[in-house]
Structure 1
Amino acid sequence: MNDQLPEEKPEALVFKYELDASPQKLWRALTIPEFRARWLPDLAESEPEEGATIPEKQISYKMREKVPPFLETQVIFRIADNDDGTAMLTIIHQLTDARIRQQRDAANSNHVLMMIAA
């Protein structure tokens, strides 16, 4: 029998990239739909989330899968300046779909199951 606890699922996927572009150029690529469609086609038609945008520093988009179960996710792009004029891009991708976030009791939770008579 295995006494180890299962690993918790991470809340988000985080990717960091050092890019050979200025932060201003990267910001334009993330915010202008025609540019965004070239390298992020799934976000081409998405609108930024209100209240989650910090001009030239952070922008957030909601995505929905095109195939069942049509899960919703949030993608956050953060831009930081490097000392040499290039940009550090951090991408945070997290599952936000309420159907997944619901806590469910384990099958062996020892809760008393009661049925209501009709």
Structure 2
Amino acid sequence: MTRTTDASVNLTYELDAAPSKVWRALTVPEYVSRWLKRPAIENDAPENGALQPPFELQLISADPDTRVRYRIKDNDAISVVTFQIGANDAGGTTFSIVHEIAMSAANSNNRTPLRAAA
């Protein structure tokens, strides 16, 4: 299920992995850095100056095995991403993502859209 508003994107997935494995993917720094990173663009290369620094990721809160919240600063925009996990009837995980735009710098003319977490 996907629900989108002007300020948020809500996604829910059913995963085959156990909740403990999903929790590790959300909280172990090496794992987080693998999948929560700026996607590569095919024509990005240092010589054309198209590469941008990665966004800033800051942990806001973590409720063991159930919820993790991160603050993301991408260019001048700030958003909050909440990941919720729970066991499902199939032995896997119900995985929900809520990506909310928190704010954009008032003096910024940058209209670059934020990248959703999923």
Same topology, TM > 0.5: yes
- Measured after TM superposition, the shift of residue 58 of structure 1 is 0.3
Deviations 1:35-69 (A, max 9, x none): 111111259962310xx321110000000113xxx
When normalised by structure 2's length, the TM-score is 0.65
When normalised by structure 1's length, the TM-score is 0.65
Q: Which residue of 2 aligns with 1:3?
A: none
Q: Which residue of 2 aligns with 1:89?
A: 95
Question: Stretches of 4+ moved more than 3 A in 1?
Answer: 42-45
Aligned residues: 87
| Contact 2:8 2:100 (8 Å CA) reproduced | yes
Root-mean-square deviation (CA, aligned residues, Å) is 2.3
Structure 2 residue 16 is the aligned partner of structure 1 residue 20: yes
Unaligned stretches of 5+ in structure 2? 39-53, 107-118
- Measured after TM superposition, the shift of residue 16 of structure 1 is 0.7
Larger Rg: 1
Residue number among 29, 33, 58 corresponding to 1:47 in the alignment? 58
Between Structure 1 and Structure 2, which shows a larger proportion of strand residues?
2
Q: Output the CA distance in 1 between the equivalents of 2:95 and 2:14.
A: 6
Q: Which residue identity is paired with 2:101?
A: L
